[in-house]
Structure 1
Amino acid sequence: MSSSVFKESIERYAEIGVDVEKALSTLEQVPISMHCWQGDDVGGFESPDAELGSGLAVTGNYPGKARSIDELRQDIEKAMSLVPGQHRLNLHAIYGDFSSDKADRDAIGVQHFQSWIDWCKTQKIGMDFNPTCFSHPKADDGMTLAHSDESIRQFWIEHCKCCRHIGAEIGKQLGSACVNNIWVPDGMKDSPADRTAPRQRLMASLDEILKEDYNTDHLLDAVESKLFGIGSETYVVGSHDFYLGYAIKNQILYCLDAGHFHPTESIADKISSVLQYIPEILLHVSRGVRWDSDHVVVLDDPTKAIFEEIVRGDHLSKVHIGLDFFDASINRIAAWAIGTRATQKALLLALLSPNEKLKQLEAAGDYSARLALMEDARMLPAGAVWEEFCHRNQIAGDFKWLDEVRAYESEVLSKR
């Protein structure tokens, strides 16, 4: 039953031209792609002693991380049970089922991920996919698709081809297009003598990977840039300029990762610009603290700005929302829940903003009223609307969901 506070919220928002029920209906329809790698610190299941490499780092050793596919699925199910709305799974290639069919990355196939597809069917969710071009002996020197050694470069080309084939089958079987996102760590720690040749090789590699056409109802290709990484502080081959140009030229998705730009640079302002030239984008919602540290997403100003831009620009149908953070210093299920719920709250706040009235004031040149309305709207009771959203989805509200995490920690995680 709706609370009196929620009913009052409907009236308050109506006064500034906001339809709360429409906002809730829209929020219900927008899926968030929850990343699998928060559950096991980006370890994967290729080998029990896998180590994270290629400039990536996870800090902390909170007890109870997933050690198997079954444990990871169990944890993801628990995390999703704490988050209202629609879900998707975002899977990296190192998370395949290799228990009975070992394969190096240039030879992986649908069979290694069929159990994940079947699991998604039982959960009634879609799935996105990613080649894993890191944490492998052939990536130890920080180069993959831009490598000067043709045999190593070809290894990673074949890996990415395999991933596109797997992604297309995922989308076909689940009836929802799979976003297959390519990110590579390629770069150099110190100043290179030649910045051009690696980018020429990366472009040629991508051209070969994307040569085969797939039904876009099944597969959507994306490429992801980065400003710098550990071990590639001075030069990243796949920079923003490189991948934006490549995405425009080939009309594929461009991935904007909130942690892959300068710490003072917001990706919110990029959204309306990028969408002038490509049909859709992929978001990796993350939180960088001083560097690309992939902290758990919180309801901070940069996150709110991202979703304000998406909603005010009417871009929701063109944006695929995925998460990308990993924190092993806190309970991993709690991290998933906090980050995903914060992302949804940011979207809800954007949907509850008096966007049409703000645009009218702007068009009329009344910037004083525009700023005043923006500020006054911040204090409206959005929390009551969020609680109603949780209630309708039969999900624990704020201050309550953590009790479920604690119980799960006691009953399940503590026994690992």
Structure 2
Amino acid sequence: MSNLIEQSYELAKQKYAALGVDVEKALAKMDQIKISLHCWQGDDVGGFESENKELTGGIQSTGNYPGKARNAEELRQDLEKAFSLIPGPKKLNLHAIYLENGGEFVDRDQIEPKHFANWVAWAKEQDIGLDFNPTLFSHEKLDNGLSLSHPDKGIRDFWIEHVKRSRRISEYFGRELGQPSVMNIWMPDGFKDIPADRLGPRKLLKESLDICLEEKLDPKCHLDAVESKVFGIGSESYVVGSHEFYMGYAMESKTLLCLDAGHFHPTEVISNKISALSLFVDQLLLHVSRPVRWDSDHVVLLDDELMAIAQEIVRHDLLDRVHIGLDFFDGSINRIAAWAIGTRNMRKALLLALLEPKAELFATEKSFDLTKRLALLEELKSYPWQAIWDHYCEKNNIAVGLDWLDEVKQYENDVLSKRG
């Protein structure tokens, strides 16, 4: 460890100790927090189901930066590079369209664990867990923008079978890797214009979900989550799976509730929902993204909302009840850099939250010393957390500062530029 980084770290430790913060304990907690990276950043949500698959269901990735992954081997290679730039425990979140079918088309209602065996073997090599998602978009049976809420029973049955098979694949992940796979169910069902019947599709969606989840799976291997959205491209006026629908469904069915940072009104934030929902649902799943005027899935910044999300989790001792996943896809910049920037920012936000003098902050609030509360929170913004972050990276053999960018540029020159 370099002398300068170690000296800065020791000085920072002393400064935080004066506030009653044990930096070593904070870093020990950091080493217990898993962040689930999303595979779809690496290929712009294309997947490997078939070539030239058109994105539908309101999904849109912009940009044409060279070198995107064209197959599972290239995607795993890129992920390994990204992992080498990010400190701390990780998982990988897979969508069903990232199966390996040996060149033969396998429809969504026919997928099996064997189509993901290579991913499991790779995850064991990387010592990471896997999460999963059924893919209820970019398919001809997303008919008129509807899947599980479609009035045609045949279409609903197709998607129900897909979700059922996805759950078994998720359980397979958990059983093989010795940690739960969180499987998140999201579908884009909705209407562009105002519907006459808002209730009917929601009844059908509830019935479909009940059938999807009727098989009891081992929670040590598999956890179900459901995810809402306020609107999407092509469903601007009505989304079947609204926040209210899924909040009620999660409480009734005892599933996890997924909060996506981009799936609410532009003036809403998910940080403010975490503590409220923690009183009513056992576990939450987060999809941490950054909306710009809409659910645009930009790379997350170390901004106020990201820090507030981390603070809510840490301040209220919810680390064992909140699963942190990322969800952004930017094809306009180097895709590996996007993973590195976004995930490092998520972990930085967690570090900042872990370095807060929580007991003192809570005490000042309970005594209504609101002046001191404000002064403390503002002063903490300029405390030397960066020195602790640099120490954490170096301790984990991860590039410090912007050195990781040099590694990305070299990888781009050696690998990505040769993909054509």
Cα distance in 1 for partners of 2:122, 2:410 equals 24
Answer yes or no: is 1:40 the counterpart of 2:43: yes
Partner in structure 1 of residue 231 of structure 2: 228
Partner letter of residue 128 of structure 1? D
TM-score, normalisation: structure 1: 0.99
Give the CA RMSD over aligned residues: 0.8
Aligned to 2:220: 217
> For 1:309 and 1:268, how far apart are their aligned partners in 2?
6
TM superposition score normalised by structure 2: 0.98
State the match for 2:188 in structure 1: 185
Match of 2:63 among 60, 64, 78: 60
- Could you report, residue by residue, the CA deviation over 1:175-196 in whole angstroms, capped at 9, with x for unpaired residues? 0000010000000000000000
Aligned residues: 416
SS of equivalent residue, structure 1 residue 165: helix
The structural deviation recorded for 1:5 is 1.1
Matches within 5 A, 1:391-406: 391-406=394-409
Amino acid at match of 1:339: G
CA-to-aligned-CA distance 1:248-296 (integer Å, 9 cap, x gap)? 0111100000010111211111001111111100000000000000000
**Runs of 4+ deviating beyond 2 Å:** none
Within the alignment, does 1:198 sit opposite 2:201 as a pair? yes
SS of alignment partner, residue 88 of structure 1: strand
Shift of 1:48: 1.2
Query: Any idea what the Cα deviations from partners look like across 1:74-110, whole Å, max 9, x if unmatched?
Result: 0000001100000101000000001255321011000
2:87 touches 2:392 (CA, 8 Å); kept in 1? yes
Letter of the 1:233 counterpart? E
Contact 2:23/2:355 (CA < 8 Å) preserved in 1? yes
Aligned ranges for residues 8-407 of structure 1 at < 5 Å?
Answer: 8-407=11-410
> Could you list the per-position Cα deviations for residues 323-377 of structure 1 after superposition, in whole angstroms to 9, with x for gaps in the alignment?
0000000000000000000000011111111111100111112111111111111
Q: Is the Cα contact below 8 Å between 1:268 and 1:302 reproduced in 2?
A: yes
* Residue of structure 1 aligned with 2:411, choices 403, 408, 411: 408
Q: Give the secondary structure class of the aligned counterpart of 2:70.
A: coil
Q: Secondary structure of 1:139's partner?
A: coil
Letter of the 2:238 counterpart: Y
Q: Which amino acid aligns with 1:274?
A: L
Question: Which secondary structure does the structure 1 equivalent of 2:225 belong to?
Answer: strand
Letter in 2 for 1:118: A
Question: Shift of residue 140 of structure 1?
Answer: 4.4
Runs of 5+ in structure 1 lacking a partner?
none
Looking at structure 2, the residues matched to 220 and 285 of structure 1 have their Cα atoms a distance apart, in angstroms, of 19
What amino acid is aligned across from residue 135 of structure 1 in structure 2? S
Cα distance in 1 between the residues matched to 2:42 and 2:54: 15
Amino acid at match of 1:246: Y
Q: Give the C-alpha shift of residue 4 in structure 1.
A: 1.1
**Residue aligned with 1:137, SS:** coil
> Which residue identity is paired with 2:310?
F
1:3 Cα deviation after fit: 1.8
The verdict on how the C-alpha distance between 1:134 and 1:383 changes in structure 2, with shifts beyond 3 A counting, is: same
User: Could you tell me how far 1:317 is from its partner in structure 2?
Assistant: 0.7
> Which amino acid in structure 1 is aligned with residue 298 of structure 2?
H
* Contact 2:35-2:91 at 8 Å conserved across structures: yes
For 2:276, the aligned partner's letter is S
Give the conservation status (yes or no) of the 8 Å contact 1:54–1:140: no
Q: What is the CA deviation profile of residues 356-404 of structure 1, one whole-angstrom value per residue up to 9, with x for unaligned ones?
A: 1100111112111111111111110010010011001000012110000
Moved more, 173-182 or 355-364: 355-364
The whole-number CA distance in structure 2 between the counterparts of 1:284 and 1:365 is 34
Distance 1:101 1:170, change over 3 A: farther
1:146-178, CA deviations, whole angstroms, 9 ceiling, x for partnerless residues? 001110111000000000011011100100000
Unpaired runs of at least 5, structure 2: none
Distance in structure 2 (CA, Å) of the matches to 1:3 and 1:219: 41
Question: Does the Cα contact within 8 Å between 2:50 and 2:105 map onto a contact in 1?
Answer: no
C-alpha contact (below 8 Å) 1:128/1:167 kept by paired residues: yes
Distance 2:79 2:240 in 1: 34
CA distance in 1, matches of 2:116, 2:144: 28
Name the amino acid aligned to 2:328.
F
